[in-house]
Structure 1
Amino acid sequence: MKSVLRSGMALVTAAVLGAGIFAATNTIASPGSTAGSVAIAGQGNNGNGNGKGLGGQPTTADAVYLDGIKDYGVCRGVDPACYNDWGQGWTEGETKRILIYSRTVGPRHAHLGTALAPGLNPPLNPNNVAQAALKAWAEERGIQVDYTEDVSRMTSLNNYQAVVFLSPTRDTLDDNAQTALMQFVRRGGGFVGIHNAFGTEYHWPWYEGLLGGANFYDHAPNRAGTIETINDDDVSTAGFPATWDFRDEFYNLVPYPSYVNVLLEVDEATSLNGRATGHPGHGAEHPVSWCHYYDGGKAFLTTLGHDVQLWTGDPNGEIANEELFKQHIVNGLESVMGIQPFCQA
């Protein structure tokens, strides 16, 4: 079952609910009932919680249904009840700061350029175009930017309102960095995953949940497609046309994102690259951007961002709508930081 609903319709309230929300009755209406439904994730037990999508909280039999969605054992979904306002988000008068992380331990996208030297904020090479562009875009909004590919720097995240994973690859974090990222998110920190953020930490279930319960499977070559604006109520898509041309590696995802607010999809008919049907992980719906609350924090995700010219500018007009991409990224970033409203539906 796909739990994604299009913009303008009621979204699933939350996939996993924290302790105390239903303490009074401990009864949750099943999605098929006529009561205000709350979707509860999957039947499998992954060792975190009771395997019923409640993170260990008790439930009644009719609250559980077999939808095949993995249980990550944390509060996740589109309900702000899953957010922990524990001081990690931005507050008025505070310095706005983010950390961009782009370490690769495997294939490296051309938009990242040459690997960066160790440490924080090393000199950027001319071909580090994605890091340079994202830094400039954020600074235009008054956001201070640090960047690194040094995993040891991922253990000091307290001073940031958001961490951006910009196309890292494979096992890019060690144990200490994984723990630090989890603690950062649980304090209410913001996470932005761009493009190959879906090509890293494959074997870490918590991170897969942070991505929206989704993971990279494959992609066809970089190609033209038509993006569909599913939700234009969110700040990251406000004013977007209903459909717009774009070129990218349109990622196929398994698992498919669940209990998230889908913002953008790619029209399957324009992105099949010669295949007769879409990827079995998607069917008729092929999301490319979404947002959700996860384990206390806020996450904004997009599989878009492959093409170098998206980051360098496109004076020759070879790529359409790169300005929409920039707007999408920067406003999504500000939303997870707490500067703008988050994940509107």
Structure 2
Amino acid sequence: MQRFKPIHAALAAAAAAVALLLTSTLSMAQGRLGVGAQELGDPDYGVCRGVDARCYHDWGNFDASQGHKILLYTRTAGPRHANLGPALGMGLNPTLTASNVVQNAVVKLGADNGFQVDYTEDVSQLSSPAALFRYNAVAFFSTSRDTLDDAAQTSLRQYVRGGGGFVGIHNAFGTEYNWPWYEGLLGGANFYDHGPEQSGTVLTVNRKDTSTKDLPRTWTFTDEWYNLVPAPSRVRVLAEVDESTLAKGVAGNYHHPGHGDDHPVAWCQYYDGGRAWLTTLGHDAKDFTTDGSYPGAAEFQKLILGGIESAMGKKPFCK
């Protein structure tokens, strides 16, 4: 039997460890070798992605002189968050009730800040790239499960490839689980589980970005604090939750142990030609209160406003 000399064996072991790290089969989670989720698969999702603006396709599909407009999509094919209210009728901009808190709030956010918001839960409104190119960004807010059909999947991908903006909020991370391209659009991340809804401290780790420049260094907020598998990679993390402030603990209902010192809740990236801005926050209807009665609501609204405006190209993106 061939035997390696000690130096050769050491080199071989080192090379194997590097290979495992590059393929993400060996985790460095929380600084502990071999501990954490095994985030398997192609880390690039077969596209140009990351924080390098050269990944963006500025192909002339949008005319800023015509103003700015987003499409808000809230269709659910699984669990439905209470802040979405009752399911919407067909077409664009169907009648809303007072219980459709998210839709009403985002429409008002646009009206107050100089951009138009169309909203829908009708998948046919996403059926062609031409339909989507009417919008500077598409926002998924707490969609769930397989909320797109084949035509809409193709349309969304072509839209993003043509320089479109994407905003994913809260349970956008619980959507289209079995579509690797969409997982990459989210930053190479997916919802796994969450612990009890509870108050915690958000750390604004990057205050240069449009979405975070007006936020304090720390702020109190209440959410479910999603645990993610995979966790986002090759993105610019904008905000994290300080897990030590979560009194009810970080372990999720499917026993995810939490993310330790690096638990991101908002980030951005360029992806497959487009811009993507993401946050796991946004569970509670009270997030949209404006009377100061709900801690963190004003900060959350500033966060998503900046995310939308930057994904649209209305303001600088992912700085």
Q: CA deviation at 1:133?
A: 0.1
Matches within 5 A, 1:1-345: 42-43=22-23, 70-71=42-43, 72-89=45-62, 91-155=63-127, 156-271=131-246, 273-274=248-249, 279-280=256-257, 282-311=259-288, 313=289, 315=291, 317=293, 319-344=294-319
Per the alignment, in what secondary structure is the counterpart of residue 163 of structure 1?
A: strand
Amino acid at match of 1:105: A
RMSD value, Cα:
2.1
Looking at structure 1, the residues matched to 313 and 200 of structure 2 have their Cα atoms a distance apart, in angstroms, of 32
Per the alignment, in what secondary structure is the counterpart of residue 54 of structure 2?
A: helix
Which residue in the other structure is 1:12 paired with?
none
Looking at structure 1, the residues matched to 119 and 278 of structure 2 have their Cα atoms a distance apart, in angstroms, of 19
Which residue in the other structure is 1:10 paired with?
none
Instruction: Give every structure 1 segment of 4 or more consecutive aligned residues whose post-TM-superposition deviation is greater than 6 Å.
Output: none
Asked if the contact 1:120/1:146 (under 8 Å) is kept, the reply is yes
TM-score (norm 2): 0.83
Name the structure where helix makes up a greater proportion of residues.
Answer: 2
Amino acid at match of 1:179: T
Asked if the contact 1:88/1:184 (under 8 Å) is kept, the reply is no
Q: CA deviation at 1:135?
A: 1.0
Asked if the contact 1:42/1:68 (under 8 Å) is kept, the reply is no
Per the alignment, in what secondary structure is the counterpart of residue 93 of structure 1?
A: helix
Per the alignment, in what secondary structure is the counterpart of residue 146 of structure 1?
A: strand
- Change beyond 3 A, Cα 1:193–1:326: same
Asked if the contact 2:93/2:118 (under 8 Å) is kept, the reply is yes
Amino acid at match of 1:332: G
TM-score (norm 1): 0.77
Stretch of structure 1 that moved more, 66-75 or 199-208 = 66-75
Looking at structure 2, the residues matched to 316 and 260 of structure 1 have their Cα atoms a distance apart, in angstroms, of 32
Looking at structure 2, the residues matched to 281 and 70 of structure 1 have their Cα atoms a distance apart, in angstroms, of 23
Deviation track 1:8-64 (CA, whole Å, cap 9, x = no partner) reads xxxxxxxxxxxxxxxxxxxxxxxxxxxxxxxxx9538xxxxxxxxxxxxxxxxxxxx
- Change beyond 3 A, Cα 1:276–1:96: closer
Per the alignment, in what secondary structure is the counterpart of residue 66 of structure 2?
A: coil
- Residue identity over aligned pairs, in percent, reads 57
- Change beyond 3 A, Cα 1:146–1:276: closer
Amino acid at match of 1:70: D
Deviation track 1:105-137 (CA, whole Å, cap 9, x = no partner) reads 111001000000111110011200111101110
Asked if the contact 2:311/2:317 (under 8 Å) is kept, the reply is yes
Q: CA deviation at 1:144?
A: 1.3
- Change beyond 3 A, Cα 1:239–1:316: closer
Q: CA deviation at 1:95?
A: 2.4
Looking at structure 1, the residues matched to 118 and 249 of structure 2 have their Cα atoms a distance apart, in angstroms, of 42
